Amino acid sequence: MAEQTFFVDIDCYQQKKSGQNAFGDCFKSRRYTDEGRLLAVLSDGLGSGIKADILATMTATMILKFIEEGKDILKATEVIMNSLPVCQVRKISYATFSAFECTDEGLIKIVEEGNPDFIHIRNGAVVEHEPKVITSKKFTNRHMHLYNFKLEPEDRLIFCSDGVTQSGMGTDEYKLGWRREGLIQFVEGEVLRNPTISSSHLAHEIVKEAIRKEPEHKAKDDVSALVLYFRKPRNLLIFTGPPYRQDRDAEYAKIFDDFEGRKAIVGGTTANLLARELGRDITTEKYNKGMLPACSHMEGVDLITEGILTLTKVLEYLNEGYDRWPDDAAGRLIELLLDSDVINFMIGSKLNQAHYDPDLPLELEIRKNVVKQLEKILSGRYIKKVNLKFI
């Protein structure tokens, strides 16, 4: 039996301190698909607003860059801990951080300095870990907590800024704030209610709940929650464009049909080709939504859209970012994309001559180029694992 691979689903949700126009916490992450590892840093800058934003961004970016350039996570964070300046007024560090490196096998190294201790949830209950404490040679009040362990399938880790654990502090109900215990209770409840809750969803719920503890529901500090969920990957296969070699249509149609996970076809000709090879009917919705051609339906396929116009729109929407994706074929494709962990593209290389007719009222992009740009944004900003296969 093939070895089961797992996926590290991470996401962070943040709210600014009420009245500020910049985030004082910073989350940075990078996934290295080829090496099967992921780096992430959550940093909390002292104070709030622009100053905190710069401190946190600087700290998170530096840690990420150091590790990226081959430095061990412990070495990288030690350098940062020793070099971060001290606030002249408060005599405390300029920024705190949590950083971790996690492999696809679930081996995780965590370094924390100053942030609330992370929470490890396994089988619905908390697992506590003893850290190795490393004290800064330069600043004796700075301690890094180092953890090294292996995640098991369905494990979750929750990291947060103190804006979460200290929310509601000073109110009658939460004199000392929501605290880590309150957060644990909430997370346990959420996971019990929805055992497959995604990292993105749980991070949102934590931040929303923290802000509910505050008087008038106004955040008194920057509030960030970073969630890691080690689980079976949700796979998506997108077949777009007819294969270069027509004699291999049947072979590719079989690969598509046999794929385990969700499937989408992006392209009218591609949809016809698969319908023909698989012997199935396609029905097309009669009314287009927005500026894009309507979606179609076929048994065993989750979504069928037109090709290049829809892909170009998807790229445009992802670049712009929306709270709610527009209600058209591109919006529906984005929902499918963002709800998947591993996105596989099968990109047919055959060109449609009609797309190069100079009489076309607008210029159509080349499919290959659009997909390459999509790969960049999906793996960069949306931390997805993306595989491209040109056929």
Chain residues in the site for other proteins (CB under 8 A): 267-269, 271-272, 282, 284-288, 291, 293-294, 296, 304, 306-309, 352-355, 357, 359-362, 364
The structure tokens listed for 206 are 């934590």
Compare residues 141 and 246 and give the one whose CB is closer to other proteins.
246
Quote the radius of gyration of the chain (alpha carbons, Å). Answer: 24
365 within 8 A of 308, measured Cβ to Cβ? yes
CB of 256 to other proteins, least distance (A): 15
CB of 294 to other proteins, least distance (A): 6
Compare residues 42 and 271 and give the one whose CB is closer to other proteins.
271
Compare residues 177 and 267 and give the one whose CB is closer to other proteins.
267
Which of 209, 211, 163, 167 is CA-nearest to residue 187? Answer: 209
CB of 317 to other proteins, least distance (A): 18
Distance CA 96, CA 45 (A): 7
The one-character DSSP state at 83 is H
Compare residues 119 and 274 and give the one whose CB is closer to other proteins.
274
DSSP 159-177: EE-HHHHTTTTTSSTTTT-
Compare residues 188 and 365 and give the one whose CB is closer to other proteins.
365
Sheet (strand 37-45) strand order? 25-32, 37-45, 95-103, 107-113, 143-150, 132-135
CB of 285 to other proteins, least distance (A): 7
Compare residues 1 and 362 and give the one whose CB is closer to other proteins.
362
113 within 8 A of 50, measured Cβ to Cβ? no
CB of 267 to other proteins, least distance (A): 8
In the chain, helix, strand, coil percent, each to 5? 35, 30, 40
With a CB cutoff of 8 Å and minimum separation 6, the contacts of 245 are none
Compare residues 41 and 304 and give the one whose CB is closer to other proteins.
304
CB of 279 to other proteins, least distance (A): 16
CB of 325 to other proteins, least distance (A): 20
Compare residues 108 and 304 and give the one whose CB is closer to other proteins.
304
CB of 390 to other proteins, least distance (A): 20
Cα 235 from chain centroid (whole Å): 15
Query: Where do runs of H (alpha helix) occur along 179-289?
Result: 179-193, 199-212, 249-258, 268-278
Distance CA 78, CA 196 (A): 36
321 within 8 A of 303, measured Cβ to Cβ? no
Residue with tokens 């964070």: 77
